[in-house]
Amino acid sequence: MYGWSGNILWVDLSKGVVERQPLDEGFALKWLGGEGFGAKILWDGATPQVADGLDERNLLIFSTGVLTGTLAPGSGRLEIVARSAVTGIFGDSNVGGHFAPALKHAGYIDDDRVEIRDARHLWGRTVPETEEMLRRELGDDIQIASIGPGGENLVRFAVIVSSPTRAAGWGGVGAVAGSKKLKAVAVRGTKGIRVARPAELQQACWETRLKAERTLSAQYRDRRKMGTMELMEPIARHGMGTFNNFSRSELSAAQLQEIAGEKFGQEFAVASLGCYACAQQCSHFAVIRDGPYKGIASEGFEFGSIGSFLSWYGSTSMAFAIAISKYCTDFGLDASEVAMLLAWLADCQQRGVMTPKDTDGMAVRWGEEGAALELLRRIAFRQGFGDMLAEGLGRAAKASGEEAAKYAYTIKGRISQEATGRGNYACALATATSTRGADHLKGWPIFRASPELSEKLWGHPQAGNPMSHEGKAAIVVSTQHLNTLQDLLGACKFYSRPPIDGLDEEDYARMLSPLIGVDLTGADLMVVAERVWNQEKAFNALSGMTRKDDTLPPMFFDTPFPAGALKGFKMEKEKFERMLDEYYRARGWDVESSIPTRSTLERLGLGDVADELERRPNVSKHSGAAGRF
């Protein structure tokens, strides 16, 4: 086959059995790869009876995109799919680096050779220790994806780490691996990829790379200088701060200077690094040169990790944020979930909802470092109060009582980490309807556009006005499909910010067509993305998700922004519900339940999915079935 490696490898770790299945070309064209392969295989294999992500019958799917490992810009992404250990619904996590291209070039694990090895000598080791031991054992040219103690101890938000600090951070895929006693996957690939029309592909990749560099020039400059930490200052300036567990939305100029991307770039970052086929190089190797964390040096620090401790947890120490983020990676834990757990505890203790007696005698205050580091260790090893925290914010808050749960901000059980979902109607709709829980990476329409451009692009003059609820369905559906498409192809989202700049679906079609030898348009690709989105929505419907789960934390409706550019603004529940109605109609879903209609599923070639939904008595437009959180 052109483009794809041509095989699916099934590994049964309990039986020690490995089976090879040739990839059907019709299947490949229908689902493309990455998230698409994962969504379909998960639907077929992880039935509603597999209700928990830690169930031994759950699947753990490593899926490369069809563009992965080619010359396409940012084509170094891997999709890992499972029933989420965090939310209990559809779960996928995307990770960059160099593991995915190695897996694609191998076809299997070590080119065509597959081997299951005993990992008892690795069990209990941190991620860096595992990486070092395997490289000594297998050679420096190996690519490794592994879990740390967090995954081994079934911490629900454990991650799988590769390359060697890039984390597949969402969905608790590290816990799923730990439940299967899978410590690591090591790959070596030298086979390359068959290309249908090489010269045409080379030209298309070169032209799209030039387009991205031209239209995203300012982003390229800032990302090379300070990575995604460049987002910290503009988010705060626009009143979108998440400081102190969403209780503050503005900092003083002096406070902001201490946590800004400029400080990270100037005082800690020593080199910019990139994933496979990357021209932006948004990752950085950072070094702490003095203070209590002196000597810590590593890669992989970005807004979602160190920024989490500097915003939600309220720390003003960049060195502490870098240090604890590294420890999270070493233990194999999602740093953002750790930060929000700490922020929730600090908020509850400040309000008197919890006391140190509830947290193993530790006083958790905003930005406090000693208790944070100790709780991190207890989470990773499920010790004391850390055992409850290891269940994730959604479950821990629910177990702590109604009053404490009020200050835990989740959607479908996943942390709601973006203030844009609180201060931008389009982003609110996108994150509330994401198929994997609160999410800004499956559609983040943080665009501002004039009435004229909004009318032209999305058919409504208010679509590009973030403060209005009108006209948002078209823009959200479009961005959700484009973001899904990128996860089918194995493409980095940082190369795309349509309709403003960057690459769009037509650019991806121009690269994909000569690769696989089938001429496709951007519209064709967006239909595949829509198919995958509906497949995931159907999976969640079988898991008990209905319209009531497509919502925001109550605080977003009840509490206005306290300060800054958005002072006094809050989401209006009635407007949000009208926006949901518009969104469901645009998608061809039942407005009352949010479940895809038969006509929509059949249009997308998912008649079998419609049949399955109708066979389930708990899934109907009048269901009202309770969600997991």
- Identify the three-state secondary structure at position 211: helix
Tell me the mean pLDDT in the region 414-436. Answer: 93
User: Residues 12-64: pLDDT tens digits?
Assistant: 999 999 999 999 999 999 999 999 999 999 999 987 778 899 999 999 999 99
- Quickly tell me which residue has 């009143």 as its tokens: 239
Q: How many CB atoms lie within 10 A of CB 586?
A: 14
Q: How many CB atoms lie within 10 A of CB 519?
A: 10
Please report the pLDDT score of residue 621 as a whole number.
47
Strand order in the sheet with 78-83: 61-64, 78-83, 90-95
Q: Where does the pLDDT of residue 623 fall: very low under 50, low under 70, confident under 90, or very high at 90 and above? A: very low
Q: Does the predicted model carry a pTM greater than 0.85? A: yes
pLDDT at 138 exceeding the cut of 80 = yes
Candidates 321, 325, 377; CA nearest to 149 is 377
Q: Where does the pLDDT of residue 111 fall: very low under 50, low under 70, confident under 90, or very high at 90 and above? A: confident
Tell me the average pLDDT of the chain: 94
User: Residues 142-192: pLDDT tens digits?
Assistant: 999 999 999 999 999 999 999 889 999 999 999 999 999 999 999 999 988
Q: Does residue 557 contact residue 574 with C-beta atoms inside 8 Å?
A: no
* Eight-class DSSP state of 158: B
CA dihedral 102, 490, 446, 258 (to 10 degrees): 0
Q: Which residue has the higher pLDDT, 197 or 113?
A: 197
Q: Copy the structure tokens of residue 458.
A: 């999305």
Contacts of 207 (CB under 8 A, 6+ apart): 510
Using CA atoms, how far apart are residues 529 and 481, in angstroms rounded to an integer? 5
Q: What percent of the chain clears pLDDT 90, i.e. is strictly above it?
A: 88
**Where does residue 125 fall: left (phi above 0), alpha (psi -120 to 50 degrees), or beta otherwise?**
beta
Using CA atoms, how far apart are residues 615 and 343, in angstroms rounded to an integer? 43
Please report the pLDDT score of residue 343 as a whole number.
98
Using CA atoms, how far apart are residues 92 and 603, in angstroms rounded to an integer? 25
Using CA atoms, how far apart are residues 134 and 528, in angstroms rounded to an integer? 38
Q: How many CB atoms lie within 10 A of CB 33?
A: 25
Q: E strands of 280-384, at which residues?
A: 283-287, 297-299
pLDDT at 118 exceeding the cut of 70 = yes
User: Residues 345-384: pLDDT tens digits?
Assistant: 999 999 999 999 999 999 999 999 999 999 999 999 999 9
Q: Copy the structure tokens of residue 94.
A: 């995307």
Candidates 29, 366, 329; CA nearest to 167 is 329
Tell me the mean pLDDT in the region 119-128. Answer: 97
Query: Which domains does the chain show, CATH number per domain?
Result: 7-187 (3.60.9.10), 229-414 (1.10.569.10), 419-489+521-615 (1.10.599.10)
The dihedral of CA 74, 78, 81, 84: what is its sign?
negative
Using CA atoms, how far apart are residues 360 and 279, in angstroms rounded to an integer? 47
Candidates 73, 69, 77; CA nearest to 34 is 77
Q: How many residues does the chain have?
A: 629
Using CA atoms, how far apart are residues 626 and 629, in angstroms rounded to an integer? 8
Q: Which of 294-308, 318-332, 514-528, 571-585 has the lowest mean pLDDT?
A: 294-308
Using CA atoms, how far apart are residues 310 and 307, in angstroms rounded to an integer? 5
Candidates 304, 335, 297, 340; CA nearest to 319 is 297
pLDDT at 108 exceeding the cut of 80 = no
User: Residues 55-91: pLDDT tens digits?
Assistant: 999 999 999 999 999 999 999 999 999 999 999 999 9
Strand order in the sheet with 143-146: 166-168, 160-162, 143-146, 184-187
Please report the pLDDT score of residue 338 as a whole number.
98
Q: Does residue 331 contact residue 376 with C-beta atoms inside 8 Å?
A: yes
User: Residues 201-246: pLDDT tens digits?
Assistant: 999 999 999 999 999 999 999 999 999 999 998 888 888 889 999 9
**Helical segments of 81-120, H only:** 99-106
Q: Copy the structure tokens of residue 228.
A: 């995604």
- Identify the three-state secondary structure at position 143: strand
**Helical segments of 78-169, H only:** 99-106, 127-138, 149-152
* Eight-class DSSP state of 423: H
- Identify the three-state secondary structure at position 475: helix
Using CA atoms, how far apart are residues 358 and 375, in angstroms rounded to an integer? 13
Q: Which helix (H) or strand (E) holds 497?
A: strand 496-497
User: Residues 93-107: pLDDT tens digits?
Assistant: 999 999 999 999 998
* Eight-class DSSP state of 288: -
Please report the pLDDT score of residue 620 as a whole number.
54
Q: Does residue 531 contact residue 605 with C-beta atoms inside 8 Å?
A: yes
Using CA atoms, how far apart are residues 615 and 594, in angstroms rounded to an integer? 17
User: Residues 55-64: pLDDT tens digits?
Assistant: 999 999 999 9
CA distances to 24, 52, 84, 221, 540 from 619, in Å? 31, 19, 20, 49, 10
User: Residues 458-494: pLDDT tens digits?
Assistant: 999 999 999 999 999 999 999 999 999 999 999 999 9
Please report the pLDDT score of residue 625 as a whole number.
34
First-residue to last-residue Cα distance in the chain? 43
Q: Does residue 48 contact residue 543 with C-beta atoms inside 8 Å?
A: yes
User: Residues 524-572: pLDDT tens digits?
Assistant: 999 999 999 999 999 999 999 999 999 999 999 999 999 999 999 999 9
pLDDT at 627 exceeding the cut of 80 = no
